Amino acid sequence: MHITRALAEFATDDHASLHGPELHAAVTAAVIDTVACCVAGGSSPGSRMLHATYEPLPDGQSTVVSTGATTSPTVAALLNAYDGHVHDLDDIADAINGHPSVVLVPALVAVAEAFARSGRELVDAYVVGFEVASAIARLLPARANFEQGWHTTSVVGVVAAAAGCSRLLGSSVDETQSALGIAASTASGSRRNFGTHTKALHAGVASKNAVLSALLARRGFTSAPDQIEADAGFLALYGERPRPRPPAELFPDGWTVVSDRGTQMKRWPCCGATHRPAASALALAPSVRHRLDRVQRVRVVQQPGGFLQLIHHRPTTGLQGKFSAEYVVAAALLDGALSMASFADSAVTRPEIVDLLPLVELAEQPGTAASPEFAMVEVEVDGEVVRHRTDAFPFLPATDVNALDAKFHDCARGTAVPWDTTEALRYLKTIGAAPAVDLRPLFASRPRAEAAEAFSAA
């Protein structure tokens, strides 16, 4: 089974259906959403520590979105992917059981800027990278990888982004095969670090290593040609036996990125596993907010495995709160809304929250790992029980242009570096429109020297 070769051939193939408007619209939305998250994340404490570690920045033409500074493509990918993931507001996809765009977009934008590639080429590379991610996720499979304790976003993302970067660079099949092998040897990320600064670092390192792998392979750097499928290779280390399907079955008909397993934009800056419980709690909030002091019990029910990544039951920091079903539900009931401010350290430790958290209990409905995902929140108050069930993931539709624009404006509000969000959105929406669109002026709406100076002074 020559899987590494098959993935490389797919990544470099001239796919006849790659230029459809539906694909371009989906990728454009993913890029806008990811850039918004990068803007918002740049002012986080973890971001400042990471950025400071790389000062002075190495020279280069790739932009650090949150500061406006330019640096090497590897460092830009690292910093942008970290910033894009730190608030956990970036998109997710069922196809990979994780976050696709926060590894792909920073890597591809960094390479596109450094090597003067067009927006159309970036869009094509994103689609290829996403489809490679989906193929790898099927091979592992992704859920089993996640249950082993791996952060599948970075494990799958580094290989997928290496494929996308290789396509963007115009690499040959052999070079792309080497890039995949290099990237597969750098895959990492432990779920135990959810709720810490290191969780976002997984995405940053994966994006950086993807760029590095593609650049090294272009220079003739070698790796095992069967690194994905061989004994002691990627799938053997990260996957689940029995061994995977043949290469012919890697890519089913149609593009996964525009299927119902493709990208889903998040509404709230917390783990995706909290979104269904959050939606139910928010639906109940108007009827219970004024009498929370009389609540006897709050019960949150999900399908088997629904709480797997929600490892913080009594959070003491905002980052931990993002991975706490108890906190997210309590905050939604108390405030009737969830926002960036909901995950400040001070919000998590409010007396009202501290009093409410012990009343929130979690339960899994009997079933199997294949049971449909859902969340039921029940609140017992004044002797009555009110409940709400959420089945569909409450994502922000990529077709809802106004909502996506509002998210971008919200992410840019209050950041240390001024953003002309109207101009940035206008430009971002054109990236896949024509082959001639150049990515290099993308961040020109903010003078780079002034932006970097403002970030350092803030």
> Same domain for 47 and 97?
yes
Whether the link from the prior residue into 242 is cis, omega within 30° of 0, is yes
Which residue, of 390, 412, 438, is where some domain finishes? 390
The model carries a pTM of 0.93
CA 273 to CA 18: how far, in whole Å?
32
435 DSSP 8-state letter = T
Q: Which residues of 135-144 are buried (b: 16+ CB within 10 A; e: fewer)?
A: bbbbbbbbbb
Asked whether residue 107 falls in the same domain as residue 12, the answer is yes
Cα–Cα distance measured from residue 188 to residue 237, given in angstroms and rounded to the nearest whole number: 11
CA separation for the pair 39, 65 (Å, rounded): 6
- Residue 131 sits in the same domain as residue 165: yes
Structure tokens at 9: 């051939």
The CATH number of the domain holding residue 324 is: 3.30.1330.120
Clarify whether residues 167 and 92 are in a common domain: yes
Within 8 A by CB and 6+ apart from 383, the residues are none
Indicate the DSSP class of residue 274. Answer: G
Nearest 5°: phi and psi at 98? -175, -160
- Domain final position from 390, 407, 431: 390
3-class DSSP assignment, residue 282: helix
Q: Which domain holds residue 428?
A: 3-266+399-457
> Which residues, 6 or more positions from 164, have their beta carbon under 8 angstroms from its beta carbon?
11, 104, 107, 108, 125, 126, 128, 129, 132, 210
Residues 283 and 312 in one domain: yes
- The last residue of one of the domains, among 357, 390, 423, is 390
112 within 8 A of 27, measured Cβ to Cβ: no
| Residues 15, 142 share a domain | yes
pLDDT for 413 equals 84
The verdict on 218 and 278 lying in the same domain is no
pLDDT value, residue 455 = 35
Neighbours of 291 (CB within 10 A): 11
Cβ atoms within 10 Å, residue 260: 9
DSSP 237-250: HHS-SSP---GGGS
Neighbour-count burial for 428-456, b at 16+ CB within 10 Å, e otherwise: bbebbeeeebebeebbebbebeebbebbe
Residues 261, 372, single domain; the answer is: no
Regarding whether 256 and 222 lie in a shared domain, the answer is yes
Residues 292 and 252 in one domain: no
Alpha carbon 224 to its chain's center? 29
* The pLDDT value given to residue 341: 92
Q: What is the pLDDT along the chain (458 residues), one digit of tens a residue?
A: 699 999 999 999 988 777 788 898 999 999 999 999 999 999 899 999 999 999 999 999 898 998 888 999 999 999 999 999 999 999 999 999 999 999 999 999 999 999 988 888 999 999 999 999 999 999 999 999 999 999 999 999 999 999 999 999 999 999 999 999 999 999 999 999 999 999 999 999 999 999 999 999 999 999 999 999 999 999 999 998 666 666 667 888 789 999 989 999 999 999 999 999 999 999 999 999 999 889 999 999 999 999 999 999 999 999 999 999 999 999 999 999 999 999 999 999 999 999 999 999 999 998 776 789 999 999 999 989 999 999 999 998 878 888 999 999 989 887 777 777 888 888 888 887 755 556 666 665 443 334 334 334 43
Domain match, 214 and 308 both = no
What six digits make up the tokens of 133?
A: 């991610």
Q: How many structural domains compose the chain?
A: 2
Distance separating alpha carbons of residues 173 and 151, to the nearest angstrom: 28
CB 405 within 8 A of CB 425: yes
CATH number of the domain at 55, please: 1.10.4100.10
Q: Does residue 293 sit in the same domain as residue 333?
A: yes
